[in-house]
Chains A and B, each alone.
Chain A
Amino acid sequence: MTETLGFWVAAVVLVAASLAVVLTPNLFHAVLWLAAALVATGGVFLLLDSPFLFGVQLLLYAGGVVTIVVFAIMLTERLVGESIRQTSRFVFNGAVLAAAVFVGILGFLLQAGAVTRPAAVGDQLGDLGRALVGPFAAPLQLLGVLLVIALLGALYFARAED
């Protein structure tokens, strides 16, 4: 019962926040709405018995990404000297296409049968940790490399002009 309630709350918040992200004219507000959507997503993760991912979501996404975007917006606004309004183009076309894709996906979902939810695993975090250093050790290392490269790349792009 709590799960159902939680889901609906999270779902409504998530959808509403998402819509706000794509519709708000103010870019800064959009970022804040994104933070809300990300937190709601974290709630969904909680509902799916993944508290660890919830933590990661809050820390990295809601914390990291939103911070970076806010920085970027502030930086560009400082450069341009005015608050950036964002406008939309071809709203109708975009809505139709997005709706069409949604209907397409829905068609798939309707065809699929129901799946029962298995019982929750006891030590999910432990299993996750073992999997990361076990079978997924190599991708994890590659991921680390990727992050370093991304960091260097971002630094390179954003460096001050000589």
Chain B
Amino acid sequence: MPLHAYLVLAALVFVIGLFGVLTRRNAVGILLGIELMLNAVNINLVAFSRFRADLAGLIFTLFTIAITVAEVAVGLAIVIVIFRVRRTIEADHLDLLRG
């Protein structure tokens, strides 16, 4: 399969994730969307790495995965704290920063 196929696939997954981030009301749902977007990025990185015969893409992917894990851990911890305090994880209700 040509490189474009992978890239289009990655783009598709990315915008689906973006759609999820934009539309989900639940904070965990938003996190899931972010996971999808990061996955799409990983696909891109690996595809470029393969087609350009450059190991750096793989290594970046490794790093991304590790960082994602950390992000999910912290993000979920925050979600739980918010839930404890506000009794909700609906993003619509979390508007303390509203001007």
Q: Does A138 contact B (CB under 8 A)?
A: no
Q: Which of A47, A69, A154 is close to B31, meaning CB atoms less than 8 Å apart? A: A69
A103 to chain B, nearest CB (A): 9
Provide the A47-85 mask, 1 if CB < 8 A to any CB of B, else 0. 111101100110011001100110111011001100010
CB-based contact A115/B2 at 8 Å: yes
What is the CA–CA distance of A22 and B25 in the complex, to the nearest angstrom?
11
Segment 29-44 of B: residues with Cβ below 8 Å from A: 29, 31-33, 35-36, 39, 42-43
Task: Give the residue of A53, A79, A87, A101 whose beta carbon is less than 8 angstroms from that of B83.
Answer: A79
Q: How many residues of B contact A (CB 8 A)?
A: 69
Cβ A101 vs Cβ B28 within 8 A: no
Interface of B, helix, strand, loop or mixed by DSSP: helix
Checking B12, B73, B83 against A15 with a beta-carbon cut-off of 8 angstroms, the contacting residue is B12
CA distance A131 to B6 in the complex (A): 25
**Cα-based distance from A21 to B20 in the complex (angstroms):** 8
Q: Is the pair B51, A118 in contact by a Cβ cutoff of 8 Å? A: yes
- Contact assessment for A65 and B16 in the assembled complex, using a CB-CB cutoff below 8 Å: no
By the criterion of a CB under 8 Å from any partner CB, how many residues of chain A are at the interface?
83
**A21/B32 contact (C-beta < 8 A), A60-B65, A106-B11 known:** yes
Enumerate A108-162 residues with CB–CB distance to B below 8 Å.
109, 112, 114-115, 117-118, 121, 124, 127-128, 131-132, 136, 139, 143, 146-147, 150-151, 153-158, 161
Q: A37-B39, A157-B74 are in contact. Are A121 and B53 (CB under 8 A)?
A: yes
Chain A residues, Cβ within 8 Å of B4: 109, 112, 114
B76 contacts partner chain A, Cβ-Cβ < 8 Å: yes
Chain B hits for A105, CB < 8 A: 11, 14-15
Q: Which residues of B contact A4 (CB under 8 A)?
A: 1
A72–B8 CA distance with the chains assembled, in angstroms? 32
